[in-house]
Chains A and B, each alone.
Chain A
Amino acid sequence: MTKLKDNYFEIKRAGINSTFQDNGRTNLNHIGIPISGVMDKRNFILANALLKNETNTPVIEFAYQGPLLEFNGDKIYFVITGDVKFEIIKNNNEKIIGSPYNVYAIEDKDQIDIQSTNKSVYGYLSISENIILDEIWDSFSTNTKAKIGSNNGEKLSDNQKIKISHKNRNTALTKLNYIDKKIEYIRVMKATNFDYFSEKAKEVFFKKEFKVTKLSDRMGMRLEGQILENVVSTNIKSEGLVKGVVQVPSDGNPIIMFADHGTIGGYPKIANVISADFDKIAQMTPGTAIKFKEVNLKEAEKLFKLYNLETTNLINQIS
């Protein structure tokens, strides 16, 4: 019997912010370790569902420009999710324009060139094999700030190799027709320091537009456009933070906490993005206008159920 070749990707170009992610690690906030994990959960779930992978299989998450990977080994399957422009460059130099949510097979020396995300930030690459990664605290997620997790807590870098398992799983070339709807509002709930803000600031928060700034990453998103005047105190005694909380520091510009956020902070909390809208807000690019709409707890819980139902429906539509 001939020896099987090693399966691996060679990273020809790492992209801007390419990391390994899964659902993240829980119950470590009390020692300063955030939850991390994917920024767009639905696209992560779909990426694994399209390949019939187990639900929490780690994937490569990329932002804006993704990696260019050369595959070495025996045939595997991959899928890309998100609003992503990519090409498959076959080993005979033939180029195939890729479509997200479509499973493709690749063979030895084929390349996947993930060129860019269209009017969105994050995309996902999942494969039919397991990427060989280090698990720490029940997660493969990379947290580049704390240097924890897969790939020694670092982003992907040029010329590195990623080892892949060798199960030779047969996978159907499944696909899904999915275009993410844009929404007009990001829905939020009032948070614990809402009354720290002036009447005018409260009104502005729900009526005027904010803009996403370039100072946005996996830790958080800074907004600008309206200054929110604080009439009580611009500092609170440091306390825990959660994903989606909107803090307002003394300059009056809101910051929304994302997956890799610091676990505690001392700025007043004006609002909280509802769980159903986490994926949407994470995908907003710098320059995008944001308007907030208030919902109550009951509505937020209902909207989350609806969000989950939509995801389930999409999984059922995979053919």
Chain B
Amino acid sequence: MIKNILNLGDAAVYCDFGKDVNQEININVINYFKNIKDKKIEGITNITPSYNKLIVSFDLEVTSYSKVKKIIENIELDKKFEKENKLIEIPVCCEKDFKLDHDRLEKKLGITYNKILEIFFSKEYFCYMTGFIAGMPFLGDVSEKLRAKRLKTPRVKVPKGSIGLTEQFCNIYTYESPGGWNIIGNTPLEIFNKENLSEPALINPGDKVKFSRITQEEYDKIKR
């Protein structure tokens, strides 16, 4: 449940669900997000869920902090939205050109790359949030055996499709962008597709992701 509601500037409500990062809290955040979104409240311009916060921005010409806060405090949560969540399979190729941090990860984690991949591909991941750049999913939780800090100096360009690891999370770079996550492979799928107007992001908050390992040949085939 929401622990505290504050204002963030004069045009946003900041809902604090606590300090911890776990799926239980995040499912709660996403449930609020979906319910507020469904109500189509006048003047609301964005609802941004993250691990343990929900920020509701509004148009100050139309409504105000006190009005939006009141609506959020009194909202009746309908659980039906939990069923919307999907399980999405993402093919990943971990061959030479794609595993940018092969050496670094082996050294950091003290296990072989094969072992790293075996652990990585063995479980389903939960989408805590989508964002930073268009469509980028933040997935968890990564096995404790695979937890590595981000690069000290981020890369200027991380290739599109890269799968990155940092601490308990993994992500997918939906297009070429600067970034500091440890890159273990690459997916040929379009994770963000602006041509798909109603559903541009393949992975939305609350969805689950199963990665499957593919060969270079299979990668090239999908890419074509």
A residues at B contact (CB < 8 Å): 26-33, 35, 136-137, 145-148, 189, 191-192, 237-242, 244-245, 262-265, 269, 272-275, 297, 300-301, 304, 308
Are B55 and A242 in contact (CB-based, < 8 A)? yes
Cβ–Cβ < 8 Å partners of B21 in chain A: 237
**Besides the known contacts A28-B46, A35-B46, 10 further A-B residue pairs in the complex with CB atoms under 8 A apart:** A27-B44, A31-B135, A31-B200, A32-B174, A239-B53, A262-B132, A297-B65, A300-B9, A304-B10, A304-B60
Range for the number of chain B residues in contact with chain A: 35 or more
Q: How far is the CA of A58 from the CA of B16 in the complex (A)?
A: 37
Q: What are 15 A-B residue pairs whose CB atoms fall within 8 Å in the complex?
A: A30-B33, A30-B130, A31-B135, A32-B133, A32-B134, A33-B200, A145-B133, A148-B194, A240-B48, A240-B53, A242-B8, A264-B132, A273-B9, A297-B7, A301-B65
Q: Which 10 A-B pairs have the closest CB atoms?
A: A240-B48, A272-B9, A240-B55, A32-B131, A300-B10, A31-B201, A263-B131, A29-B46, A239-B50, A239-B53
Cβ–Cβ < 8 Å partners of A241 in chain B: 48, 55
Cβ–Cβ < 8 Å partners of A273 in chain B: 9
Interface string of B27-41 (1 = CB under 8 A from A): 000000100010000
Q: How far is the CA of A150 from the CA of B192 in the complex (A)?
A: 18
Could you say which of B45, B52, B133 contacts A27, with CB atoms under 8 Å apart?
B45
Cβ–Cβ < 8 Å partners of B92 in chain A: none
Cβ–Cβ < 8 Å partners of A147 in chain B: 175
Q: How far is the CA of A240 from the CA of B8 in the complex (A)?
A: 10
In the complex with contacts A136-B194, A240-B53, A263-B48, A29-B8 CB distance below 8 A: no
Q: How far is the CA of A251 from the CA of B24 in the complex (A)?
A: 34
B6 within 8 A of A: yes
Are A239 and B55 in contact (CB-based, < 8 A)? yes
B residues at A contact (CB < 8 Å): 6-12, 14, 16, 19, 21, 33, 37, 44-55, 57, 60-61, 64-65, 129-136, 138, 174-175, 192, 194, 197, 200-201, 204-205
Could you say which of A32, A265, A275, A308 contacts B9, with CB atoms under 8 Å apart?
A275
Are B8 and A32 in contact (CB-based, < 8 A)? no
Q: Please name the residue on chain B nearest to A145 by beta carbon.
A: B133
Cβ–Cβ < 8 Å partners of B64 in chain A: 301
Are A29 and B131 in contact (CB-based, < 8 A)? yes
Are B9 and A245 in contact (CB-based, < 8 A)? yes
Cβ–Cβ < 8 Å partners of B45 in chain A: 26-27, 35
Are A264 and B129 in contact (CB-based, < 8 A)? yes
Are A31 and B10 in contact (CB-based, < 8 A)? no
Are B10 and A32 in contact (CB-based, < 8 A)? no
Tell me, rounded to whole Å, the shortest Cβ–Cβ distance linking A34 to chain B.
9
Tell me, rounded to whole Å, the shortest Cβ–Cβ distance linking B184 to chain A.
20
In the complex with contacts A26-B45, A264-B129, A297-B10 CB distance below 8 A: yes
Cβ–Cβ < 8 Å partners of B12 in chain A: 242
Tell me, rounded to whole Å, the shortest Cβ–Cβ distance linking B18 to chain A.
10
Q: How far is the CA of A33 from the CA of B60 in the complex (A)?
A: 20
In the complex with contacts A136-B194, A239-B53, A30-B48 CB distance below 8 A: yes
